[in-house]
């Protein structure tokens, strides 16, 4: 692949989510991110959201009415027992992901679990052990990995066109002081699990698991992380590379990312974790932007990850090649070490 061009080369796109087999989805939890899933997925794919479970009858009924969902269950137990539900999207706070994912798996349902997958790598291993025992599919809902710009960006990096990767940076800051759960240790609050997980997963996608982690940050008076800066180091083929990840729930940042190599760089427009564009600047050549004109302005959402679940379930697979269990465990392990260095401990750990 030549980067010495004023127009982008032909780059791969993810499979069309409208062509994936249809699953019947139940949504566990009726919060904001569940609403995004309920809105985007049926509108842009063959997937159907047929039920929602909420511990608040009024909240569940309002959610279902807003999104045209057929059935409302007054408990999570009722939702996972619904015979018309094939897969469950777990959209509760991080503190409850392990228990709710296990609840669904034990009921025979495939699961897509919001990121961060759990509070810790130990909890993630518990969930995946149940999925393996039950012969069911499980995946972390890291939607960024499935989006068109990420697929195209990874193709550029994998081609070797950037040369040796030297630095990966990712920044995710939002002013979220109005979101009470993020300041609650009992709900696994803090910037890292909500925002920094995107940074760490982006670095992992390109460089794999780090050999070293160095973290510094600022904690709230309740002991959760307000913001942090993390430097990751590597061995093997990336032994000279660094990744720098910053996250904050106290201030809004540009939310950009970059991949810098010896032969060029990629700058990803913010928010790097959502549907976006990037610019490739080759060493000694002219910069070009992706996406090409025919894709510009089109927005993408959670339908890509939901379609991946459907394809894998249809093929009898328990995990995705794009977001495999090993990646989830390695990202969770990295964040465990960040929390250890920052001194963030959740109740019960």
Nearest to 301 by CA among 23, 27, 14: 14
Which backbone phi and psi does 169 adopt, to 5 degrees? -125, 145
Mapping DSSP to helix (H, G, I), strand (E, B) and coil, where does residue 163 land? coil
Residues 333, 121: contact at Cβ < 8 Å? yes
Report the chain's C-alpha Rg in angstroms.
20
115 classed as catalytic: yes
Nearest alpha carbon to residue 197 among 145, 153, 142, 251: 142
- Distances in Å between the alpha carbon of 24 and those of 51, 84, 167, 197, 209? 9, 7, 42, 28, 34
How far, in Å, CA of 117 to CA of 96, rounded? 10
CA 174 from chain center: how many Å? Answer: 16
Whether residue 310 has a cis bond before it, omega within 30° of 0: no
Burial of 182 (C-beta count, 10 Å sphere; 0-12/13-18/19+): buried
Residue whose C-alpha is closest to residue 282's, from 75, 3, 6, 81: 3
Per-residue buried b or exposed e for 44-63, using 16+ beta carbons within 10 Å of the residue's own CB:
bbbbbbbbbbbeeeeebbeb
- Considering the candidates 109, 115, 204, 265, report the single residue annotated as catalytic: 115
Residue 39's contacts (CB-CB under 8 Å, 6 or more residues apart) are: 67
Sign of the four-CA dihedral 21, 109, 29, 77:
positive
Which DSSP symbol is given to 319? S
Q: How many helices (H) and strands (E) does the chain have?
A: 10, 14
Residues identified as active-site: 115
């Amino acid at each position: 692949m030549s980067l010495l061009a004023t127009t982008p080369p032909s780059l791969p796109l993810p499979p069309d989510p409208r062509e994936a087999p249809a699953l019947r989805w139940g949504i566990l939890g009726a919060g904001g991110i569940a609403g995004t899933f309920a809105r985007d997925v049926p509108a842009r794919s063959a997937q159907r959201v047929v039920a929602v479970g909420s511990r608040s009858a009024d909240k569940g009924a309002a959610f279902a009415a807003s999104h045209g969902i057929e059935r409302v269950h007054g408990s999570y137990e009722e939702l996972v027992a619904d015979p018309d539900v094939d897969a469950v999207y777990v959209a509760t706070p991080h503190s409850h992901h392990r228990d709710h994912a296990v609840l669904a798996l034990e009921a025979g349902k495939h699961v897509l679990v919001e990121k961060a997958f759990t509070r810790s790598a130990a909890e993630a291993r518990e969930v995946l052990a149940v999925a393996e025992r039950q012969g069911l599919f499980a995946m972390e809902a890291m939607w960024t990995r499935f989006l068109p710009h990420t697929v195209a960006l990874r193709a550029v990096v994998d081609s070797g066109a950037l040369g040796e990767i030297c630095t990966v940076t990712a920044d995710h800051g939002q002013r979220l002081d109005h979101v009470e759960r993020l300041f609650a240790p009992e709900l696994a609050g803090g910037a890292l699990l909500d925002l920094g997980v995107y940074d760490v997963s982006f670095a992992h996608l390109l460089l794999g698991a780090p050999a070293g982690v160095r973290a510094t940050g600022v904690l709230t008076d309740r002991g959760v992380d307000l913001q942090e800066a993390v430097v990751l180091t590597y061995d093997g083929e990336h032994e000279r590379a660094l990744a720098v990840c910053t996250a904050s729930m106290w201030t809004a940042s540009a939310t950009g990312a970059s991949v810098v190599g010896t032969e060029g760089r990629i700058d990803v427009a913010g928010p790097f974790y959502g549907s976006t564009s990037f610019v490739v600047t080759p060493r000694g050549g002219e910069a070009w932007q992706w996406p090409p004109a025919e894709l510009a302005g089109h927005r993408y959402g959670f339908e890509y990850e939901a379609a991946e679940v459907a394809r894998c379930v249809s093929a009898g697979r328990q995990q995705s090649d794009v977001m495999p269990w090993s990646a989830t465990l390695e990202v969770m392990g990295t964040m465990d070490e960040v929390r250890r260095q920052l001194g963030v401990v959740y109740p019960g750990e």
